[in-house]
């Protein structure tokens, strides 16, 4: 019997390395693919893409599988980076990792691989799939379904997640057992496509390059909810709802960001942790995406408003194409416009939307 041809997205990390190794052992016809999404250096932060590419290639060679690179850099900038910049300049807090999965890994990579002869794709995500549905990973701490909720059912029907039942410790142990070069490699931090660079440095660099720095990166006032000026900031674009650190407001109780006005370049804060501006018992979602079935009004669901946040019981209040309102069983702090709320029915990820 001829086994299916699987193209594995290999990033040069331990997760995708073990994914490829496991599929080879299971008898699949495996090809490793490095997606070149970003290669630009930023001041003081060289992009590690060449090292990651070589690490992935070295693993592929050790496994005896073909290896190639897909250059998605222009599409990545157009579909993910520009989306992120547009979101921040509009005053919301977008999630580029979610958009990367939607537009690049499970659309562009999926379509390119299939056109290149692949029957299926595979990635090192901690998630599970069955019959076109997305299921949570066994390791709740590593579960990545929050970032995958905008993937289509069709793509999931033709995707393998070999790490879905494993813990990170097990992955490293199995990689080490197989002598994989990346077994002890540290996980990358920071923006998904810029490695060690933080969002503030990235936005500053790119807004300066685009000639928009003077519009967004300029001093402004930090005010309390009742209009008292208590400090200054470097640009409202850098602040997000619920933020506590980085405000540089001395003395007394800590302050939390409750809102901002991009036109006035003002940031609003409170030191009342129970402020109604910080807590929500309802959510309105736009740009909704349902993986296989749209839930119905009155359905009981579980909601997650950020990666690794606890699941909160909720009920669907209203729903139609592109919009959903949810009543939460308890109040949630700092529900941030632009971020995603993801809905579950037990272990099944139904989909979700962007918090408005």
Domain boundaries, the chain: 5-177, 218-277, 280-355
Q: Which CATH superfamily is domain 218-277 in?
A: Adenine nucleotide alpha hydrolases-like domains (2.30.30.280)
pLDDT tens track for 170-179: 999 999 999 9
Least Cα distance to 160 among 121, 115, 133 occurs for: 121
Of 116 and 190, which is predicted with more confidence?
Answer: 116
Query: Contact 9/20 with Cβ under 8 angstroms?
Result: no
Burial tier of 190 (Cβ tally within 10 Å: 0-12, 13-18, 19+): middle
CATH of region 5-177, choose from 3.40.50.620, 3.40.50.720, 3.10.20.30, 3.30.200.20: 3.40.50.620
Q: Which residues of 48-73 are buried (b: 16+ CB within 10 A; e: fewer)?
A: bbeebbebbbbbbeebebebeebebb
Q: Which residues of 111-122 are buried (b: 16+ CB within 10 A; e: fewer)?
A: ebbeeeebebbb
Average pLDDT over residues 328-347: 96
Average pLDDT over residues 55-75: 98
Distance, in Å, from the CA atom of 217 to the CA atom of 41, rounded to the nearest integer, reads 21
Distance, in Å, from the CA atom of 148 to the CA atom of 102, rounded to the nearest integer, reads 7
Q: What is the pLDDT of residue 193?
A: 61
Burial tier of 199 (Cβ tally within 10 Å: 0-12, 13-18, 19+): middle
Quickly state the pLDDT bin for 52 (edges 50, 70, 90): very high
Task: Pick the range with the lowest mean pLDDT from 188-202, 213-227, 255-269, 278-292.
Answer: 188-202
Q: What is the pLDDT of residue 200?
A: 87
In the chain, which ranges are E strands?
Answer: 5-9, 29-36, 67-71, 120-122, 128-130, 133-135, 159-160, 220-224, 229-233, 256-261, 266-270, 279-290, 300-304, 312-320, 323-333, 340-345, 348-355
Query: Contact 288/305 with Cβ under 8 angstroms?
Result: no
Average pLDDT over residues 39-66: 92
Quickly state the pLDDT bin for 189 (edges 50, 70, 90): low
Pick the catalytic residue: 100, 324, 335, 349? Answer: 100
Torsion of CA 32, 351, 320, 110, to 10 degrees: 0
Least Cα distance to 267 among 231, 311, 213 occurs for: 231
Residue 324 a catalytic site member: no
Residue 43 has pLDDT above 60, yes or no: yes
Least Cα distance to 289 among 324, 316, 315 occurs for: 324
Pick the catalytic residue: 47, 192, 324, 335? Answer: 192
Q: What is the pLDDT of residue 198?
A: 80
In this structure, the strands spanning 266-270 and 279-290 are unpaired
**CATH no. for 280-355:** 2.40.30.10
Quickly state the pLDDT bin for 114 (edges 50, 70, 90): very high
With residue 75 as reference, give the H or E element that holds it. helix 73-76
Quickly state the pLDDT bin for 111 (edges 50, 70, 90): very high
Residue 100 a catalytic site member: yes
Residue 190 has pLDDT above 80, yes or no: no
Quickly state the pLDDT bin for 46 (edges 50, 70, 90): confident
- Rounded to two decimals, the pTM is 0.94
Quickly state the pLDDT bin for 194 (edges 50, 70, 90): low
Q: What is the pLDDT of residue 192?
A: 63
Average pLDDT over residues 45-69: 95
Q: What is the pLDDT of residue 44?
A: 76
């Amino acid at each position: 019997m001829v086994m299916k041809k699987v193209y594995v997205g290999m990033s040069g990390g331990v997760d995708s390395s073990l994914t490829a190794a496991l599929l080879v052992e299971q008898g699949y016809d495996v090809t490793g693919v490095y997606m070149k999404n970003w290669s630009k250096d930023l001041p003081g932060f060289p992009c590690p893409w060449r090292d990651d590419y070589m690490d992935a290639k070295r693993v592929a060679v050790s496994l005896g599988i073909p290896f190639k690179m897909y250059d998605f850099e222009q599409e990545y900038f157009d579909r993910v980076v520009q989306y992120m910049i547009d979101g921040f300049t509009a005053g919301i807090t977008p999630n580029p990792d979610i958009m990367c999965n939607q537009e690049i890994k499970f659309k562009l990579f999926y379509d390119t691989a299939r056109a290149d002869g692949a029957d299926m794709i595979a990635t090192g995500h901690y998630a599970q799939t069955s019959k076109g549905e997305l299921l949570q990973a066994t390791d709740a701490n590593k579960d990545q379904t929050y970032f995958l909720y905008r993937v289509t059912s069709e793509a999931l029907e033709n995707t393998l997640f070999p790490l879905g039942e494993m813990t990170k410790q097990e992955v490293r142990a199995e990689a080490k057992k197989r002598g994989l070069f990346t077994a002890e490699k540290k996980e990358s931090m920071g923006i998904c496509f810029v490695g060690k660079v933080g969002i503030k440095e990235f936005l500053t660099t790119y807004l300066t390059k685009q000639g928009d720095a003077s519009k967004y990166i300029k001093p402004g006032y930090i005010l309390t909810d009742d209009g008292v000026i208590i400090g200054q900031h470097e640009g409202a674009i850098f602040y997000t709802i619920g933020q506590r650190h980085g405000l540089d407001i001395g003395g007394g109780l800590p302050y939390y960001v409750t809102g901002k006005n991009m036109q006035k370049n003002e940031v609003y804060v409170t030191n009342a942790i129970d402020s109604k501006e910080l807590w929500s018992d309802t959510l309105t979602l736009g740009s909704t995406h349902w993986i296989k079935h749209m839930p119905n009004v009155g359905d009981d669901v579980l909601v997650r408003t950020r990666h690794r946040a606890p699941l909160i019981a909720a009920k669907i209040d209203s729903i139609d194409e592109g919009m959903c309102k949810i009543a939460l069983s308890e109040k949630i702090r700092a529900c941030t416009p632009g971020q995603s709320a993801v809905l579950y029915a037990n272990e099944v990820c139904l989909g979700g939307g962007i918090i408005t």
